[in-house]
Amino acid sequence: MSSATPVSHGGGTAASPASPDVIDSGHVTAPRRRRRLPPVARGLIVFLVFCAGLGVVTGLLWHAVVQLPTYTVQESGAASTTERGLTQFFGTDAWFSLIGAVCGAIIGLLGWWLFRWLGWIVTLVVLAGANIAALIAWHLGEALGPTDFAARISAASAGQSLPIDFQLRSHSSVLVWLLFAVLPVLLFSALGRDDEDPGAPRQWVAVRRRVLRRTPSPWIDAGHVDPPSSEAPVLPDDASR
């Protein structure tokens, strides 16, 4: 086999591509490895993005299902509503709480299914997801309007009917989202089968690992956090012979 020889250009000598001088000179650098987020962090980001998208959908749904009461402007300039309109005055709060109960339960079930191996931290995860979804739905629904009822009613003519402002009057309705999100976690952790039990079913572990792109980790999947011991196992006398 022929070895690489230097090539001369105009009286100078240039090292061949295979020469170690090229590598040592800094012209050839090792490719940089891209730092990737840990699997748990990627799973949390995907979960929170899902909660944000759920908040957008529920905000649009909340705005679509609520029927706002209307006030009719009289000839004297006063505005009045009907008895049915008075009963619909807190319809925005009722619908927000009802939708929040369903969405909170969805977030809680999904969070428990994906992150229950994190232990008590799963409670914080589902609370954060439900809070994000509730705040997005709240502000999106109010942003779609109508707003500024006082200015609209002062500029209205006699006989014109105007709906009231679309707003969440009871801010404590957000707690409904958080309550129903944490409720599945509490129920499954208290009544569910313990993962540390050797006879516990393991059919969902592979699916959850595929979602989070986690490498197989028997001690974590079993509910333990301590890494396996690096000490060599003690073999029985028959096996050592």
- Work out how many domains the chain is built from and give that number: 1
- Residue at 234 is within a domain: no
- pTM to 2 decimals? 0.65
Tens place of pLDDT for every residue, the chain, 241 residues? 445 555 445 555 554 555 555 445 555 555 566 677 778 888 899 999 999 999 999 999 999 999 888 888 887 777 777 777 777 788 899 999 999 999 999 999 999 999 988 888 999 999 999 999 999 999 999 999 888 887 887 787 787 888 888 999 889 999 999 999 999 999 988 876 655 554 444 444 454 555 555 444 444 444 444 455 555 555 555 544 5
Q: Helix, strand or coil for residue 8?
A: strand
Task: Assess if residue 109 is contained within a domain.
Answer: yes
121 located within any domain:
yes
Q: Terminus-to-terminus CA distance in the chain, angstroms?
A: 51
Domain of 44, in residue numbers: 39-68+91-148+167-193
Q: How many CA atoms lie within 13 A of 152 on its CB side?
A: 14
Nearest to 194 by CA among 156, 224, 155, 229: 224
Q: Is 52 a member of any domain? A: yes
Domain membership of residue 77 (yes or no) is: no
Using only C-alpha atoms, the chain has a radius of gyration, in whole angstroms, of 32
**Does residue 27 lie within any of the structural domains?**
no
Tell whether 119 is covered by a domain: yes
- 154 in any annotated domain: no
Q: What is the largest CA-CA distance in the chain?
A: 108
